Amino acid sequence: MSVTLDVKKDHISDRKSKTVLLAAPRGFCAGVDRAIQIVERSIEKFGAPVYVRHEIVHNRHVVDRLTGLGAVFVEELDECPDDRPVVFSAHGVPKSVPKAAQARELTFLDATCPLVSKVHVEAERHAKEGLHILLIGHEGHPEVIGTMGQLPAGQMSLIETEEDARTFEPVNGQKLSLVTQTTLSVDDTADIIEILKARFPDIALPYKEDICYATTNRQAAVKAIAERCDLLLVIGSKTSSNSKRLVEVGAKAGSDEAVLISSSDAIDWDAIDKADVIGLSAGASAPEYLTDGVLAALRSRYDVSCQEVEVTKEKVIFRLPRLLLDK
């Protein structure tokens, strides 16, 4: 007589364990949130399509979602019809752009981040005082193009590197002032500023640091976790300056490896498999659902223990343009 025994084996998981250190703050800043709301509210108020000059923020997921709502993204104002509203991106635009919009009697809304606008005001004030302005930033970035476009050609010089700072020579002993792009590496920018201050002790500095609070906070959060990380993942676009700076900051702060990914679809699973402690952050133009997606993808393959490391809380809110508040 044969007896069949119903033996229940204890389930032993063969899933690897991973620790995720989640940097905070991360993701959307107040300026990005305001810019996206301006596009959304414009579509609600005026109907689709609403034109947007340049990507409203540097994130393809955001742009694609707004396109689905009825936004049309263009690079130049002459691509916009006369009878539809146009929104200027969060990065800011040269003065010639709103001037051209006014000449065509277009309805336009300026989604320039108020902290970028602050730099524009500083530059104009320095120019009125007869100072030549040095702008620390990256050539070709929309924010730099917009800032340099606040003044006539020749009144501002771009400083990209420490070498630029060492070799710049003012013309005819002109007095100097300094402004910076808002999304730079805090540490790298400080090094450039020190070189300029040593060479030109009388250079007029910003009343308050130009690098925005969100850039500073996100870099501080990455520094707080980097040394403990085998691998740091930063979610953001390749065109996003602040996201690329987070990768650089993480690598310098001690992460064994730091990489930029656009979403969970771009994860290098071989690299993940080798890492025990994974850091996770997101640039200021990356929506939180992308962070959620990366965590979900990690949890689908590993036993994940997640710890949020918060360096500060952000409570900044920027007002929307009056045109969108009027009934």
> Which residues are annotated as catalytic?
143
Contact (CB, 8 A) for 88 and 81: no
Q: Which two tokens stand for residue 64?
A: 């694609």
Q: What is the 3-state secondary structure (H, E, C) of 261-287?
A: ECCHHHCCHHHHHHCCEEEEEECCCCC
- Give the helix ranges, DSSP H, for the chain: 30-46, 60-69, 96-103, 114-128, 142-148, 162-167, 186-199, 213-226, 241-252, 269-274, 288-299, 322-325
Exposed e or buried b per residue across 219-247, where buried means at least 16 C-beta atoms within 10 angstroms of its C-beta? bbbbbbbbeebbbbbbbbbeebbbbbbbb
Nearest CA-CA partner of 238 in 275, 270, 263:
263
Contact (CB, 8 A) for 131 and 176: yes
Report the alpha-carbon distance of residue 280 to residue 286 in Å, rounded.
12
Residues 6+ apart with CB under 8 A from 27: 235, 282, 283, 284, 286, 287, 288, 290, 291
